[in-house]
Chains A and B, each alone.
Chain A
């Protein structure tokens, strides 16, 4: 055990402080072309005409690609979990968000590539966009996908749903119902390094791709599927990533440069501008979260109902997964014997949303912890006491019926109180993570029994998917 507890030098520390770390945009190879994209200027439109003839004849242009050039244009980011693929790499007959990729040019210089991308003949028939997820069920709203504005987890069930205990009895027994609505907004990951890729075609049919991906093999898999190539024909070079924070899981620059490089038979580099990063790359989603809690005057939470809407943006990306994770965390770190959670993936004409640091969970934590303060305020209780009483102990169960074997909520709360110099009563300070007993085991927490009503993820035609429920 030489490393644990030791202060070790970073393996890349000297390279970073001497400017020698090679990020993707620092790599150049002879004969390299530059890519620039034509993107949708509007949030929703049918593509009436897409003609690249003029662009192809522009000075310095070696290749222009549209959806017709991509061997497998539509690839899903969650197919492994059973979520059907829906997002084209390059738009086919419609665009669903501002900045959606339509065509990409490879030319001798970035300026030539940009001029050619702007010379592509594009005619759009604009549609009214759907932008407010709260109107997902309104019949007069524009439809984002042919299947509507709400994603169906199962053929008969649109929501990620979790049930535990007798929710009707909990609300009947409550002294007070405390309600709240929480709306955390979308956030751009904004790493310092914009996404970039450099694809180099080999004479043996292999392609080497320098990638800013923070999930190299994931991006390699997505690229291989777009190219319909076995992964063995791709060589991904990565690992030096100028920040990602979730945003560099998305895989666009890699397959685009690979398709261009194979068409032009030249190395192609594409680097996003900061504008592209801010306008067109995925963000953390915006959420709409409604909570209603059945509580007693002395500060026990008997039951919780939630309704969550998740603004997935125009394509699924990782939203179904984010909403599952969100739902599992809607009790926070607290033991609630009866829950009814409903979480909906809503498709809108916003930029697709995806990973960012604990996505799905952070929105739940924000709503739950703000709601705990609201309960304390309504009941006139100390918020520390409310949290410490309801905090998970050994033997408590999560909404999805995971039995906690070693929870640390009480000790964490006490450490936080100490760090914040909060004076707690002796009774609270003496609390531990140990199994509930005495006044900390009220009648409603005794029978934490019963199976949650969860179903495995399934395709829309009803075939069970790989990821099972419990």
Chain B
């Protein structure tokens, strides 16, 4: 079985009914998608399949053979963050960070699908299946709205980075 993940083709050894989440985490060692409940209830395992958000814990790997799978690892790296990643960082939308990967992919799919600045209600609707037990939803919605508008706060001024350096 062959699987395209983040643009790279992989030959998969796991049995066909193995959840995509396990193939990503255990076989391909891509640990961005998280195993929060493995019941399709919490959203932490969300990845994009041909651009659409999917619960990878409920998706058999055989069902996505030949499709393009995108995980958080492909959104951007620290030197080249995507808008939605910058917004989550700037708006403190990631608290414990465990739901963040799934939230980011759900948000990225919403922004890509609408192609315009989104309303708060649209974000709540699109991310309604994502559970943030730290209850940081307001900041998450703030971040997605800002990302859809291409807004950047530029909060990381040199003075604050200096403090980050002296604290370590």
B161 near A240 with CB under 8 A, answer: no
Decide yes or no whether B8 CB sits under 8 A from chain A. no
Decide yes or no whether B159 CB sits under 8 A from chain A. yes
Contact among A6, A191, A274 with B163 in the assembled complex (CB-CB below 8 Å): A6
Which residues of chain A are near B73, meaning CB under 8 Å? Answer: 18-19
Decide yes or no whether A293 CB sits under 8 A from chain B. no
Which residues of chain A are near B97, meaning CB under 8 Å? Answer: 12, 15-16, 21, 23, 240, 242
Main secondary structure of the interface of B (DSSP, over half): loop
Contact among B26, B81, B96, B98 with A18 in the assembled complex (CB-CB below 8 Å): B81
Q: Mark A5-22, 1 if CB is under 8 A from B, else 0.
A: 011111111111111111
Shortest Cβ distance from residue A448 to the other chain B in the assembled complex, whole angstroms? 39
Which residues of chain A are near B19, meaning CB under 8 Å? Answer: none
29 of the cross-chain contacts (CB-CB < 8 Å) are: A2-B159, A2-B166, A9-B89, A9-B164, A12-B97, A16-B88, A17-B85, A17-B86, A18-B73, A18-B81, A19-B32, A19-B71, A19-B73, A19-B75, A21-B97, A22-B31, A23-B31, A23-B97, A28-B29, A190-B133, A191-B96, A192-B96, A192-B98, A192-B99, A241-B96, A242-B97, A243-B96, A243-B134, A245-B133
Q: A10-B94, A17-B85, A192-B99 are in contact. List 5 more A-B contacts (CB 8 A).
A: A2-B166, A3-B163, A10-B92, A243-B96, A243-B98
Which residues of chain B are near A274, meaning CB under 8 Å? Answer: 36-39
Decide yes or no whether A370 CB sits under 8 A from chain B. no
Bound: A364/B75 CA distance, A: 47
B96 near A242 with CB under 8 A, answer: yes
Bound: A25/B98 CA distance, A: 11
Q: Which B residues contact A (CB, under 8 angstroms)?
A: 25-26, 29, 31-39, 42, 44, 71-73, 75-78, 81, 85-86, 88-89, 92, 94, 96-101, 104, 131-134, 155-156, 159-164, 166-168
Q: Which A residues contact B (CB, under 8 angstroms)?
A: 2-3, 6-23, 25-26, 28, 190-194, 240-243, 245, 271, 273-274
Assuming the contacts A16-B97, A17-B85, asked whether A273 and B163 have C-beta atoms less than 8 A apart, the reply is no
Shortest Cβ distance from residue A109 to the other chain B in the assembled complex, whole angstroms? 10
A16 near B100 with CB under 8 A, answer: yes
Assuming the contacts A192-B98, A241-B96, A245-B133, asked whether A25 and B71 have C-beta atoms less than 8 A apart, the reply is no
A192 near B81 with CB under 8 A, answer: no
A192 near B164 with CB under 8 A, answer: no
B34 near A192 with CB under 8 A, answer: yes
Which residues of chain B are near A23, meaning CB under 8 Å? Answer: 31, 34, 97-98
Shortest Cβ distance from residue B140 to the other chain A in the assembled complex, whole angstroms? 12
Shortest Cβ distance from residue A239 to the other chain B in the assembled complex, whole angstroms? 11
Contact among B37, B96, B159 with A6 in the assembled complex (CB-CB below 8 Å): B159
Q: What residue in chain B is nearest A19 (Cβ atoms)?
A: B32
Assuming the contacts A7-B160, A8-B163, A274-B38, asked whether A193 and B96 have C-beta atoms less than 8 A apart, the reply is yes
For the complex of A and B, 4 pairs with smallest distance between CB atoms? A19-B32, A242-B98, A16-B97, A19-B72
Which residues of chain A are near B25, meaning CB under 8 Å? Answer: 25-26
Q: What residue in chain A is nearest B39 (Cβ atoms)?
A: A274
Bound: A66/B113 CA distance, A: 54
B132 near A192 with CB under 8 A, answer: yes
Q: What residue in chain A is nearest B94 (Cβ atoms)?
A: A16
A193 near B36 with CB under 8 A, answer: yes
Bound: A414/B33 CA distance, A: 46
Which residues of chain B are near A25, meaning CB under 8 Å? Answer: 25, 31, 34-35
Shortest Cβ distance from residue A64 to the other chain B in the assembled complex, whole angstroms? 23
A18 near B34 with CB under 8 A, answer: no
Bound: A15/B161 CA distance, A: 16
Bound: A14/B26 CA distance, A: 24
Q: What residue in chain B is nearest A11 (Cβ atoms)?
A: B164
A2 near B163 with CB under 8 A, answer: yes
B94 near A192 with CB under 8 A, answer: no
Which residues of chain B are near A242, meaning CB under 8 Å? Answer: 34, 96-98
B89 near A192 with CB under 8 A, answer: no
Contact among B92, B96, B101, B163 with A19 in the assembled complex (CB-CB below 8 Å): B101
A192 near B163 with CB under 8 A, answer: no
Shortest Cβ distance from residue A325 to the other chain B in the assembled complex, whole angstroms? 23
Shortest Cβ distance from residue A27 to the other chain B in the assembled complex, whole angstroms? 9
B78 near A194 with CB under 8 A, answer: no
Which residues of chain A are near B168, meaning CB under 8 Å? Answer: 11
Q: What residue in chain B is nearest A9 (Cβ atoms)?
A: B156
Bound: A8/B167 CA distance, A: 12
Which residues of chain B are near A12, meaning CB under 8 Å? Answer: 97
